[in-house]
Each structure stands twice: as C-alpha cells, then as structure tokens.
Structure 1
C-alpha cells in the first residue's frame, strides 16, 4: 500500500453503473474532484432497468441532464404500461390485456416540474451521464478493479488493478457503488439482512429484432408473455428493434444459466414472439435473481455504501435504481461540504441516519407489491382500498414522499400522514422534499439549485434581510405550506432542514445557529 500521508483523491467512487456514474456527476456538480473505477471496459450496453422515477428526473434536472435523457427516452404517452398476451404476434392481432400507463392525477402533476415522456433504458441513461462526465474531464478509469482496501483515521488506502498493472491510491473518502455483490462491502465485513433471493434465477436477454410488423402500432412498457414455450417478460428498450426478454432459468428442471447460449436465447425469443423465422440478434444474456436485502451498515469509517451495495430491492415497482440515485444525491452534497471545510465530519453521519430507514421502507413496499402485483398495477377506488388495507403506498409516495430524521434536520417529522397522498406528504415538513411551486415561472426546486436556500412567506421581509446577512439566496413564495411571515431553510438536496411559522427575535442569528447545528460546526481543523 502507498505510504502517502495525505489523500491524493478527495473521493473514490467504486462502480461505473448508473448509481456510480451519477455519484461522480453529483460530486463534480458540487465541485469535488473524484476518481471513478469500474472493472468493465465502459458503460454497460445491457439495460438492467428502464423505470426512471420522478425524484431521479429531478436529480437529472439539477445536473442539467433532464433534456438529454428525455431525448433518448421512448415516448409512451398514451401507450399501455403493462400488457399480457400469449405471444407478440397474438398481441398485435388484438388478443391482449392491457393496463394503461399510469396517468398522474392533477395533484401529482403539481408536485414536480418535469417528467420524462416515457421509459429510458439504463444503458441510455448511463451513456448520457458518462458523456457528460467525459466533457467535464472527469477521471474515469475503466477496466480497473478494486483488489484491496484499508483505512485509518486520516484516509483510506485502496489498491487497484488496471490495464497497466496494480497501483495504490490514498483517498479521503470512498463511495462503494459496486453492486449487489459489492467487493467493498465484503472487504469491510458488512453483512446484510432481509428476505434474500426471491424466486427462480432469471436470464435477461438483450436482443435486436424488428417487432413492428407484428405489433401493428401497439406500444407498451412491459408485456407478460404466457406461451408455455417461452413464458417471460418482454421489456421495451426503444419500442422498435431493441428489446429485453426475461425468462426463468428452471434449475430444478435441469436448466442452468450457462445453458442459455446465444442460439438458445434466439430460439426463446422466437417462441415468445410467435415467429419461428424471426431475424434475431442476441446482443447479451445476463443471469440474475430477484433479491431483497439491506446492508447492516451504510457507512464504515470513511467508506459509504450506495445503490445495490447498500440495498437490493425486489423488482416490482421500479424502485431499485431510483433508491440508489437518491443515496448518491443525499451523500454528494455532504461530502462536498466536508471537503470544502464548510461542515464538520458529523454531517456525514447523517447519510446512514437518513438513507437506511428510507431504503428499509422502500424494500418493504416492494415486497408487499411482489406478494400481490395488483396492489401496484390496479387502478380505481377498489385498488386504492386494497392498497390501503395492505399498507401499500402509491408509487409516487415511495419515490418522492419519504422523509428524513437526522441531526441534519431541525424538528423532523418522519412519520407520513395516515392518508398517504403525495400532495399531503409533501407539505413542507422538516425532513421532506420541499414542495414544488411556481415562482415567476420558476420551480422552487430550480430556485434551490443545489445550494442552501431560504424560502419566505409573502410577508417575510425580515427573513429576506436575514438571509442576505448570512449570505444565503432567498425567495418569496406564496404557498399553503408556508405562513405569511414564516420561512423554510432548504438543503442543497432540496430537503427542508427547518421550518419556522412564527416570528423570532433575531432571524439572522437564528439562521446562523441552525446552519451551525445542521452542518456540525464549528469545523475542527486538525493540527499540521
């Protein structure tokens, strides 16, 4: 290991999937140089997920990448969200059952400033983020794997193996975004809890075939194929010639993952489509298994677990990728604040305090849906009543409505209202995502713009002056969650850190004291 005394690298990100790439992008956005290492030779061409949730879209908007991601998303407005058919041929002939794409209610449309037009496969998302990082001159080291890690009070020593051999880096902090079988988590001795493996092993087949003649204009997000010859799930990648098909690998029946050669996969696809002469190009076939697990610890010293390294989420609900992005969003600004000397290291303790309970709640919601998929897909009053009886939240609440309880929130209110409605959950309570409201044509989320921000009521002149005194941007907002002479202090991740509904004697000193408390200040500077 290196004997360098002081860290060479402020933050090392291990893992170049979506969560790792977005972690690096968020760190760069906050002005923190990071090194990303990934054992593969580049971003994955194999989409593992296609559902980008509304909170992730807000993160992309914060990074200025929402338009680029929307441009590569498949437009599914007016399409079927879920379809069930014996084969694709029979689906195109009209023998199909469909569930429409979820139509946001008027209240839901008022909760976020931008939505993607449809689904965006994970490989397309990764390509956009990786290209943006390259434009920024980020240090992305492909074909590089972690082979050792050790840490002390002053830093972490990481041994890496790349194209030119082994070498070591001294890092101030390490973010492990290296997946469900995280080498970093294993090296740290962090265990997991939860249901573990769920159901049979699956094969994820990425293939190219022009299905448009068979679909006859029909489009969908996913389609359950029921033919006995190839039962599985067909997933839209571009809605034209690129698709993913998931099929169970029946180990008990004598099948093994290695039996799914490209030739076998092509035969499976032809059977699922219902066209024995279909021209199929199998691009990749990956074995996987549904899993639900939660790491016992999200942070060990100077190392932080994010994404699948911290939690693996049952697939129904499309919460896995989005929960990982929320981890990165929560952690990046905190690492930046400590790196720049704006916060004490105690702020980093709030990462696990905030994200682990939210991840646990998300795992629970996914498992409840897995037990009865209609709780996720059902629409109408009867479905709403069934969800309420089963303790299932509406999907937008899982994505946007959960709350934090930590030392980085003043007087947190972590309990969601008994009526789990997104508009009710986003009520400006400390620990919740600040409500979206238009201010002269600009969303409150855009006003925050990755900075500490004060939002004041219509009669909040004293708060405007106080914010100026402590060097914070401030904006006047007319909204039911903000009293006329009140104020909210919003963190760089758009979480409400504090809400005041009554006058205080010295607003500027009050804000300064709150910032000191939330940021774990004064910052202790080690002696030379």
Structure 2
C-alpha cells in the first residue's frame, strides 16, 4: 500500500527539478517534488541564463523577476587581463575584450532573436526565486529534506520509498511517472543509465567570496580571466555574484583550473592567499563562503527514458561549464518533458509511450550537441595561450618574456597583438553562441515534417537563422495588439494549448481548429496576423520568416516549437489539422 499517490514524482530540486515543478503546476499536473538537502544550493554554480531560457521563463511568469535581480546584459563583456592590482609594467594590462552574451555590439542581434534578453544570475540567487514560485503554484508539493531511498516500476506506475531526513520517517509514494533531476546521483544509475563521453578533462576549484573589488574589477565584465605573467597560476577566473552589480558588486566566484593529475593544488586553507596572488591584490580582505572542487567532464546518458522513469538535467548530461549550456539545457529538458507528460496524464494520447519517448529523441540529440560545443569551447581556450605565445612547457622566465614582447611598443609587439586578436577571436564560439542556443531543430514522433531543408547553421555557432520549419523553435516577432505589443511567443500561453498562426486570408482555419479541438480534446488558439487583423505585423518580421502564404498556417506546440506547417489553406483543412495533431499527440 502506498501512503501517497501523485501523477508525477520529481526527484531533485535544483534548477531542473524546480523548473519541472513550476511547468507541471502551470500545466495543471499534480506532482510531488522532493530534495534531500534542506535548502536550495549555497554554491554559485551556473550563472548565465540564455535567451531560450529567459523566453521560457517569460512564458511561465518568471522572466521579469529574474531579469530584475540579474546582471543587466546591455553592455556585458568578457575581459582577459594580466592582473587586477599591482603597479609593475605588466600589471593591469588588457589582453583582449569580447562583447559577450548579448552585450555591446551583439545587443541588437539578441533583442531581435528573442522577446527577452539573456541575463546573469547565479544559482544561489536563482533557485530561491524558483523555489518560491514552485511552492506558491504547488502548495504542499515541494518537500526539501526528503530523499529517495529506492524505487521500482511496473506496467502501471512507479513505487518509491522516501525518507524524511530530520525524523527518519519513511513513506511510500505511488506515481505514474518519475523524473530524475538529481544530478545523476541515484535515479540514473538505479534505472540502468550509462554515462558516455569524456571524463576528467580538468579539475576546477571555485570559491564564493565576499570582497571589495570596487577599485579594480571591471564593472561591465560578466567574466574576467586573469593571466598573471608571474606566479604559480596560469589563469584565474572571476565572475560577479551580486546582489549589486557593476563595480559595487559585493560577492564573487573565483575559479582555478588544474590538470587532473596536477600536484600543484590549492587547499581550502590556501584559498585566501591564492586569490590574493592570482589577482595580484596582496592586501585584499575577504570572507569565504562555500566552494566546489570537481572534475570537469562531458558525459551524456545513453538513454533518457527508462519506461516510466525519465532523466533530465545533470542526471542526463553533464557539461564543461564553458558556453553556459548546462543549466540552460536542463531547463529546456524540463520544458520539453512537462507538456508531454501533461498530454498523457490528461488521457489525450492513445500511445503515451511513443509521445513520451519523443522527449529522449528530441532532447538527447540537442544535449549531445550542447555538450560537444561546451567541450569544444573549453578546449579552444588553449588558443588563448597560443595567441600569447605560451604553452604548458613555458618556463616562468619565458612567460615573462612573452608578455613583455606582447605589450612592447614596437612593430613586432603590434604584430603579436594583431595576431592575438585574430586567434583569440575564435573564442566568440563561447561568448556569442546564439545559433547553438536557438537554432536547433527537433525531429521525430512529435513533429510533422514538410520535406523542406533546414536553414544553414553557422559553423562558428554565432549567427542564428529564424525559421518556421517544423521541429524548430518558433521565431520571435513583435506584433501590435490593441494599444500594446506581444511576441509570437506569447500566443501559446503556459497551460498546454496549441496556437495556429495564420494570415489575413486564413479565416477558414477557425473552423478547422474548432473541429480538431472538439475531436481531440486539446485547445487550439487561432491567431490571424495581418494588416487588418487584431495582431498586426507592422515591422514585417513575421511576414519575412513565417514561411507561409496569407491563408497558410503554422501550428505551434505548447513548448513554442513548430509542430506542423502548411503554406496555404487545404481543401480539407480540418482533416489535415486533425491528422497533424494526432501525429504530434500520438493519438490514434
């Protein structure tokens, strides 16, 4: 006998689990979220929230609050410098600066691509916001200090034994489905997942500190990479943690990277002196908070779906931190899986296994690309050293000489800096990877293909090409509606419905959508976009990217991916739309 029944049990309340809870609540799906820790993370962890994540947060009513708390990204930079302190000839020198993550010269491109810009908010500040939203939307459904002891699934559901940490009390939960978002600690190994990929690439030691860097830290830098010409550290990275941004930022994450078998480690007791030495601020006072020490790896589970058990986030894939794709991919996993679970739990799919397996088909392929891209950008940091004339075998004396040559006011110094600009410029693959963040497309059971070719992908990952080709993310375009404006991404809503976008001559789709909704039990909102319609494309952006004629239609799934597209109104529009929805929902 179970003590509790819930349609979905979510294990792990990091960013992925909290997102799953929020999305399921908005979709009307009862669930239970458990987390073995007593609170959200005390570690800085991930901090960059990309355009896709922020538009998902906009869909579910979190974006404004997250943006208000986060680092404004209108002019964000990534800076490479020799030190933050010192008065020697090689101190406080700028090596290279990138406009990054939607800032500066990238701003217009990012604002055109999505209805809300990316932001920077470390997980230790993001997760409390997400927890509050999860608890408000699912009262009594979020339980910290509860751990999964064991689970077993059968043809009808999953039986899980859970322990309340403080009291030791155990209870049994019966659920239809289980989401493992526990970072791969328990659910994945017990389900039989095998992590495939590259492990032990490097060892990272990070520390969260409070320190006054107002007189020396760049106020516009989302990341500052310090490469000291002298000393034991080749690179030290500094990331602002807020809560105040700019030069008055109070808290920072400081990271040191080592080869996995490098004996020259930094112990916790040595951290203050290491920070002072790495930044060349010998008198810096600081307060130490929590930190992390872990091996950098790129692994992806061989499967995401195990019957009624699903893996998401770090339980399904673990990324190198460069390019900031780990947490973002985790939230996208949750977004993809949640609406499909809602369809199944509402009884709208006659082949739920097929629909739910499309989660693995869609997300695993994208997560592999993201993991590979993160690894690629991590390894490309070697090019930064190469641009400065440095290698792992460079002696301390040679390192100083290389920096002296680089900053020399000579023709050769100018050549070395020009070469470095070109070589270092390849690291834009990390700092402006908009096409990686937005340009992917899904194929499989929940998409009705139209035999068109995908748009070209930028081999450097930067230039995103919007498209309504089925499987791709719906292009963002601002539409004038009444006295204000809405994004095409606002037309679906957060409650699991579909949107059918058509043009001035697409009035016939109203009846088709009504017939499909009546037969299949789904909500299909028809939105006509045109000069004399309630939604007006005054900029012409939607007309340019829609890929349909005035009487064509684009069917948008609940996750704002295109599920079906037809260039014009067919003779049997209702029949065509019903067949398309049956395919997407795996409904006979």
- TM-score between the two structures when normalised by the length of structure 1: 0.89
Q: Does 1:444 align with 2:525?
A: no
1: CA distance between counterparts of 2:421 and 2:466? Answer: 22
Match of 1:433 among 473, 487, 496: 473
1: CA distance between counterparts of 2:451 and 2:85? Answer: 48
1: CA distance between counterparts of 2:579 and 2:489? Answer: 24
CA distance 1:503–1:85, change in 2 (3 Å) = same
CA contact (8 A) 2:301 2:317 kept: yes
Q: Does 1:95 align with 2:141?
A: no
Report SS of the residue matched to 1:213: coil
Superposed, 1:143-292 pairs within 5 Å as 143-162=145-164, 163-165=166-168, 166-179=170-183, 181-199=184-202, 201-215=203-217, 218-227=219-228, 228-230=231-233, 231-238=235-242, 239=245, 240-248=249-257, 252-254=261-263, 260-261=267-268, 263-292=269-298
CA contact (8 A) 1:365 1:393 kept: no
Q: Does 1:457 align with 2:459?
A: no
Spell out, residue by residue over 1:215-243, the C-alpha distance to the aligned partner (whole angstroms, 9 max, x if none): 3x633111122232444211111141100
1: CA distance between counterparts of 2:587 and 2:356? Answer: 12
Higher mean displacement: 351-360 or 227-236? 227-236
CA contact (8 A) 2:84 2:216 kept: no
Match of 1:305 among 299, 305, 311: 311
Match of 1:417 among 455, 461, 473: 455
Q: Does 1:340 align with 2:346?
A: yes
Q: Does 1:141 align with 2:148?
A: no
Q: CA deviation at 1:465?
A: 3.2
2: CA distance between counterparts of 1:105 and 1:41? Answer: 39
CA distance 1:218–1:205, change in 2 (3 Å) = same
CA distance 1:30–1:374, change in 2 (3 Å) = farther
CA distance 1:219–1:517, change in 2 (3 Å) = closer
Report SS of the residue matched to 1:425: coil
Superposed, 1:48-63 pairs within 5 Å as 48-63=45-60
CA distance 1:218–1:425, change in 2 (3 Å) = closer
CA distance 1:413–1:235, change in 2 (3 Å) = farther
Q: Does 1:492 align with 2:558?
A: yes
Q: CA deviation at 1:167?
A: 2.1
CA distance 1:107–1:275, change in 2 (3 Å) = closer
Report SS of the residue matched to 1:45: coil
CA contact (8 A) 1:83 1:220 kept: no
Report SS of the residue matched to 2:216: helix
Q: Does 1:362 align with 2:370?
A: yes
1: CA distance between counterparts of 2:72 and 2:457? Answer: 32
Q: CA deviation at 1:437?
A: 1.6
Q: Over aligned residue pairs, what C-alpha RMSD do you find? A: 3.0
2: CA distance between counterparts of 1:508 and 1:274? Answer: 70
2: CA distance between counterparts of 1:476 and 1:172? Answer: 38
2: CA distance between counterparts of 1:265 and 1:301? Answer: 46
Superposed, 1:76-95 pairs within 5 Å as 76-88=73-85, 94-95=92-93
CA distance 1:272–1:386, change in 2 (3 Å) = closer
Q: 2:539 maps to which residue?
A: none
1: CA distance between counterparts of 2:463 and 2:448? Answer: 22
CA distance 1:413–1:273, change in 2 (3 Å) = farther
CA distance 1:101–1:355, change in 2 (3 Å) = same
The structure number with the bigger radius of gyration is 2
CA distance 1:508–1:330, change in 2 (3 Å) = same
1: CA distance between counterparts of 2:465 and 2:333? Answer: 20
Q: Does 1:406 align with 2:444?
A: yes
The number of equivalent residue pairs is: 509
1: CA distance between counterparts of 2:425 and 2:214? Answer: 38
Q: CA deviation at 1:504?
A: 1.3
Spell out, residue by residue over 1:274-306, the C-alpha distance to the aligned partner (whole angstroms, 9 max, x if none): 233322111112111211011000010101111
CA contact (8 A) 2:260 2:295 kept: no
Q: CA deviation at 1:339?
A: 1.1
CA distance 1:214–1:425, change in 2 (3 Å) = closer
Higher mean displacement: 507-516 or 269-278? 269-278
Q: CA deviation at 1:444?
A: 0.6
CA distance 1:315–1:505, change in 2 (3 Å) = same
Q: Does 1:67 align with 2:67?
A: no
Report SS of the residue matched to 1:70: helix
2: CA distance between counterparts of 1:212 and 1:276? Answer: 16
2: CA distance between counterparts of 1:278 and 1:363? Answer: 37
CA contact (8 A) 1:221 1:235 kept: yes
Spell out, residue by residue over 1:414-455, the C-alpha distance to the aligned partner (whole angstroms, 9 max, x if none): 974335387763210000011112222211100111321100
1: CA distance between counterparts of 2:303 and 2:257? Answer: 32
